[in-house]
Amino acid sequence: MYLPNFRLDGQLSVVTGGTKGIGRAIALAFAESGSDIILIARNKEALLHTKKEIETLGRKALLIQADVADYEKITDQVEEVREGRFIDVWVNNAGMNIRSEAENVTEAEWNQIVSTNMKSAFFLSQFAATIMKKREKGKIINISSVGGHTALRTGVVYAMTKSALIQMTKNLAMEWGKYQINVNAIGPWYFKTSLTEELLQNEEYVDAILARTPLKRIGELKELTGSALLLASEAGSYMTGQTLFVDGGMTIYGF
């Protein structure tokens, strides 16, 4: 009676950037919990590989090869592949970073980061909400970062977009709560992925990371997917407008 339901049986979840790192881990965790998945990513080979992994878990994977910045194309394709089904969960995971120091940021870099990390997340959330409103139920999860909460040494535009996602999450939760749409975010610190592999081979860099991490280690992806499953499932149905920092304690660190 008091055990919350973390399952997603029979549901349909969308994960942008769902073929690498955090996005892939979330997609596979959702599939393992019973959800079919719409994967959105640019790389066809990676899409097909992740599709096989999802099908091995007994779920269906629907593929959309597109750049999230082309959100109009994505929304048209989602309508084509979802086969009239409602979308239960939408995860805005796709993101990028260019580690330029502030004085070296170009307008092209600005536009690319903002379009990928922030603009796409807003308009794809807008699209998801139009579907979820029809039955007054749905979960939207934005993947932010500890960089949206605390200062980073470089990557100011990235940090700005991740901070914007945290505030956007609050505002959308406020607006769409009346439709029983839960909007939450996750703020990760460093996790072991193919995207961080090169950085984490630098011992000096890792030492600097761990110096600001109370648990004194890099995160494993299985330690992140639980928070996503909480926010996607009925277990988190009374949570909205929140950002869960899965960070080994980094955001509480003080000097």
First to last CA, the chain: 44
Rounded CA gap, 92 and 142, in Å?
5
Residue 120 CA to its chain's centroid (Å)? 12
3-state SS, the chain, equals: CCCCCCCCCCCEEEEECCCCHHHHHHHHHHHHCCCEEEEEECCHHHHHHHHHHHHHCCCCEEEEECCCCCHHHHHHHHHHHCCCCCCCEEEECCCCCCCCCHHHCCHHHHHHHHHHHHHHHHHHHHHHHHHHCCCCCEEEEEECCHHHCCCCCCCHHHHHHHHHHHHHHHHHHHHHHHHCEEEEEEEECCECCCCCCCHHHCHHHHHHHHHCCCCCCCECCHHHHHHHHHHHCHHHCCCCCCEEEECCCHHHCCC
Residue 238 designated active-site: no
Beta strand pairing call for 181-188 and 138-143: parallel
Considering the candidates 2, 71, 158, 238, report the single residue annotated as catalytic: 158
Would residue 155 be called left, alpha or beta, if left means φ above 0 and alpha means ψ between -120 and 50 degrees?
A: left
Query: Which residues does the annotation mark as catalytic?
Result: 158
